[in-house]
Amino acid sequence: MFNRLIAGMLFTLITGLLTTTPVSADIRNTCGWDPGSAAKIDLVLDLGAHYIPRDAKVGDVIAARKLYGKSDPISVIRCANNGDTVLNLDFRNDSPIVQNSFPGISGTVMETNIPGIGVQIEPASPYDGVAQYSWKSPTGSIIPFQAVIDFQLPADLAHNSIKAYVTLIKTGPIASGQPHQLDQTLGTASYTGVPDGLSVGVMGTVTQAECNVTQNPVTPIEVNLGDWKASDFTQQGYTTTAKDFSIALNSCVADASGNPVANAYIQLDPTAGSTGWDDDQGVFTSSVAGIGIQLLDANDRVVPLKKEVEHMPVSAGNIDLKFKARYYQTDTTVGAGKAEGALSFTIFYK
């Protein structure tokens, strides 16, 4: 057994099938069909259901799986070589190649029927050259590739299934709409004597994990920080009692199995006359001299301004992002009046 690391996940590679069936009299130094076989083997690799954060980066891996597909009913292509010839394999791509490159992704990526989602398929044994009696390719076995058998096979090499690493990759913007259905033939293999003998495709769904934000998502709309005397503010850095507020995210789409794939990030920016006083400490100015407003999370940790801050995993349904606000003394002396400030917020899903 062989181990391989792909996109941070470990997969086990199972070797292919070298039969012990004697070489057939009518299949020598070539490839051919077993009696009763169909005219083509169509294999489908089922990826299942996957989710991707709405704001995932281009090049992010959506899913990486080792999958198995077998012909049903059983059809078999057999190849034999006594060492006197060269058998050829041409595993071509049936979908256009994505022209962009992506960090951490080596090899060819094909387009899928979903704009913004690409796929890489890498057949394992007997196509990857790992086993002694298998197809040999100088470029590896990521579709498309060509390979040869230029040596003697002790027995027929049978092909009626495929094991492959399948990696889904975000290649561009993905349109809204849930879920997106993958259903496409992506590669076809031609063997010496058997043109277009085997095809491989993928099926599954990809759903963007995200939420809706209503017109008035903040509760309360205006956060009352209380009435305080100017004499209460005794030194720079003095703070008042924090008051709770929340931002509602509704109709969140996420993996219902409880395996979160997206986190809600929030960026808070001073607006309507307020400016950042100490962004790292979450303090922005108010309408009263010497008085700022500080943002905290539900656990009284400072929420920095003007940057994306991870808040919580996205689960299916409705969720509330909980915060607190309090007055923060920014100068040795303070003015009087109604101390007001304003923030805008942006939600990201990553």
**Phi, psi (degrees; rounded to nearest 5) at 232:** -70, -25
Q: Which of 148, 179, 208 is the last residue of a domain?
A: 208
> Could you tell me the pTM of the whole model?
0.80
Q: What is the pLDDT of residues 217-246, one digit of tens each?
A: 999 989 999 999 999 999 999 999 999 999
Q: Which of 177, 208, 239 is the last residue of a domain?
A: 208
Q: Where are the alpha helices (DSSP H) in 132-261?
A: none
Q: Is the pLDDT of residue 317 over 90?
A: no
62 torsion bin: left (phi>0), alpha (psi -120 to 50), beta (else)? alpha
Q: What is the pLDDT of residues 155-211, one digit of tens each?
A: 999 999 999 999 999 999 998 767 999 999 999 999 999 999 999 999 999 999 989
Bridge partners for 67 per DSSP: 164
Query: Do 189 and 259 sit in the same domain of this protein?
Result: no
Query: Do 169 and 27 sit in the same domain of this protein?
Result: yes
Query: Do 233 and 198 sit in the same domain of this protein?
Result: no
Query: Do 37 and 135 sit in the same domain of this protein?
Result: yes
What span, in angstroms and rounded, lies between the C-alpha atoms of 118 and 106?
13
- Whichever domain contains 258, its CATH number is 2.60.40.1090
What span, in angstroms and rounded, lies between the C-alpha atoms of 318 and 116?
27
Q: Identify the domain containing residue 281 by its residue range.
A: 213-349
How do strand 263-271 and strand 309-313 relate by DSSP bridges? antiparallel
CB 350 within 8 A of CB 261: no
Three-state SS annotation for 46-77: EEEEEEEECCCCCCCEEEEEEEEEECCCCCCE
Query: Do 153 and 219 sit in the same domain of this protein?
Result: no
Residue 348 pLDDT level (bands cut at 50, 70, 90): very high
Query: Do 336 and 298 sit in the same domain of this protein?
Result: yes
Query: Do 32 and 120 sit in the same domain of this protein?
Result: yes
Per the prediction, the chain carries an average pLDDT of 89
Query: Do 227 and 111 sit in the same domain of this protein?
Result: no
